[in-house]
Amino acid sequence: MEMESLFGIALGINPPWEIESVNFSKESKRLDIKIGFQRGATFPCPVCGAQSPAYDTADKTWRHLNFFQYEAYLTARVPRVKCPHVGCGVKQVEVPWARPGSGFTLLFEALIMALVREMPVNAVSALLGEHDTRIWRILDHYVKGARDQSDYSEVTRIGVDETSARRGQDYISLFFDLDQGRLLFGTGGKNHETVTAFKEDFVLHKGVPEKVTDASMDMSKAFIKGITEEFPNAQITFDKFHLIQIMNDALGKVRAEEALLFPELLHGTRYVFLKNPENLTEKQDAMLTTLSYCHLKTGRAYMIKLALQDVFFAANREDGEARLKRWYNWAIRSQIEQIKKVARTVKNHWNGVLAWFDSKLTNSLVEAVNGLIQSAKRRARGYRSIKNLINMSYLIAGKLDFRLPT
Ligand SMILES: [Zn+2]
């Protein structure tokens, strides 16, 4: 068998296309495969599909998968056809091994898409010897195509959060389908308009805003406003872990202030107060007991934190609300300014805090995905644009079907 036929089979080149020559160059470490077509062949008109004869040709080159250490390139005489139907005009035909406008074969693009899942784009770029903007363009194309196919008609429970884009200065907002665990939409900024942008995109993907019954988020004014306006039937649940985080931050400040007054008592206790009693070492437990005898604010603040956590162990909403009321009365009378501030925050978000008993929603999934996005960002030493970061987020969490050739 001729080498040309072997490569024809390996590459899936079918008539009327045929391999004209295969050329290895040791000096440039290149494999060049020339593709032509049979004399008198006809091709479908890209506008109407009618078989039409070639009118003229132009040479085009695509990068293909490496052949061992050789970079492989396909070059083809690509015909333009003159369709018999008036109005179609003279058009370049589509080739089966690449999509229009791309300088890579479909298989090479599939390789790129497989690599960008495993390593940072700049590493892919170095590995393949291609400029990273070309790699980002491929990613952008496949993400767009796959998102066009996505259907949001069954989405009823959503989660929203922001994550930092560049050194904490810029943010992107991310919207999730909490049942499917997939990223639905990402956009720059963290104001309430991001929710409007999400709703518009949601509707484009057959989402029905009125069908959304629940939204999980932290206590962000912007997201509360946006969700209330754009998703009128969504019950907001405030993430309970975020609430506990606010409480821990307040406790940390109380401890830090008091440590200045009683350094001998509170030195080295910073992490003790973040733990729950069952996780304390014997020594830490003994120290807490000592502290509680000393009537320190820190000791009281710690007890108030435990009581807040305890709210979420209630059997039902009614019991939970009773516990939250008791907690609030304790916290607001604590005479510890940081703790009173948390109490007021809870009061202002009362229903959304208690909504957890009905929805059982948290932002755990959202936080986990944010973690993955941030670690991808760190490995890449940042992204040049917010668009790149969002495309990477879709790649990580969009559960997109890229329909790539294999
Ligand atoms: Zn035509």
Q: Render pLDDT for 156-208 as a digit per residue (tens, 0 to 9).
A: 999 999 999 876 679 999 999 999 999 999 999 999 999 999 999 999 999 99
**Residue 405 reports pLDDT greater than 80:** no
Taking the centre of ligand 1 as the mean of its atom positions, its distance from the CA of residue 43, in whole angstroms, is 10
- The rounded percent of the chain whose pLDDT value lies above 90 is 72
Q: Is the CATH number of domain 157-239+361-397 3.30.420.10?
A: yes
Supply 288's token pair. Answer: 């807490």
Burial class (CB in 10 A: 0-12, 13-18, 19+), 367: middle
Gap from CA of 92 to ligand 1 centroid (Å): 11
Residue 84 Cα to ligand 1 midpoint, Å, equals 7
Q: What are phi and psi of 13, to 5 degrees?
A: -85, 115
Q: How far is the CA of 51 from the centre of ligand 1 (A)?
A: 8
- Which pTM was predicted? 0.87
How does residue 235 score in pLDDT terms, banded at 50, 70 and 90?
very high
- Separation of CA 80 and ligand 1 centre (Å): 12
What is the CA(104)–ligand 1 centre distance, in A? 26
Q: How far is the CA of 55 from the centre of ligand 1 (A)?
A: 13
Distance between Cα 144 and ligand 1 center (Å):
28
| Cα gap 399→98, rounded to integer Å | 24
Helix (H, G, I), strand (E, B) or coil at 288: helix
Q: In this structure, what token pair is assigned to residue 272?
A: 């003790």
Q: 42: CA distance to ligand 1 center in Å?
A: 12
**Cα–Cα distance for residue pair 298/322, rounded to 1 Å:** 25
Categorize the per-residue pLDDT at 381 as very low, low, confident or very high, splitting at 50, 70 and 90.
Answer: confident
Flag whether pLDDT at 3 surpasses 80: no
Any residues with CB less than 8 A from the CB of 274 and at least 6 apart, and which?
Answer: 248, 251, 252
Token pair, residue 259, equals 């440590």
CA 160 to chain centre: 12
Q: 37 alpha carbon to ligand 1 midpoint, in Å? A: 20
Torsion 350-352-355-356 (CA) sign: negative
Residue 167's pLDDT is 67
Q: How far is CA 230 from CA 141, 205, 215, 233, in A?
A: 29, 16, 11, 9
Burial track 14-39 (b if 16+ CB lie within 10 A, e otherwise): eeebbbeebeeeeeeeebbbbbbbee
- pLDDT tier at 293, thresholds 50, 70, 90: low
Gap between the Cα atoms of 368 and 372, Å rounded: 7
Alpha carbon of 89 to ligand 1 centroid (Å): 7
Distance 93 CA to ligand 1 centre (A): 11
Cα of 363 vs centre of ligand 1, distance in Å, is 53
Domain ranges within the chain, ordered by starting residue: 3-103, 157-239+361-397, 240-359
Which residues, other chains included, contact 176 with Cβ-Cβ below 8 Å and sequence gap of 6+?
Answer: 158, 159, 160, 182, 183, 184, 365, 366, 369, 397
- What is the identity of the amino acid at 145? G
Ligand 1: distance of its center to the CA of 46 in Å? 7
Residue 20 CA to ligand 1 center (angstroms) comes to 28
More confident residue, 217 or 291: 217
With cut-offs at 50, 70 and 90, classify the pLDDT of residue 124: very high
Q: Which pLDDT tens digit goes with each residue over 245-287?
A: 999 999 999 988 988 888 777 777 777 777 888 888 888 877 7
- Residue 104 in this model has a pLDDT that exceeds 70: yes
Check pLDDT > 60 for residue 1. no
Q: Distance, CA 105 to ligand 1 centroid (Å)?
A: 25
**What is the distance in A from the centroid of ligand 1 to the CA of 148?**
27
- Name the token pair of 312: 């979420």
How many CB atoms sit inside 10 A of residue 7's CB? Answer: 19
- As a whole number of Å, the CA-based R_g of the chain is 30
Mean pLDDT score of the chain, rounded to an integer? 91
Q: What is the mean pLDDT of residues 123-131?
A: 93
Q: What is the pLDDT of residue 263?
A: 79
Q: Which DSSP category does 277 fall into?
A: G
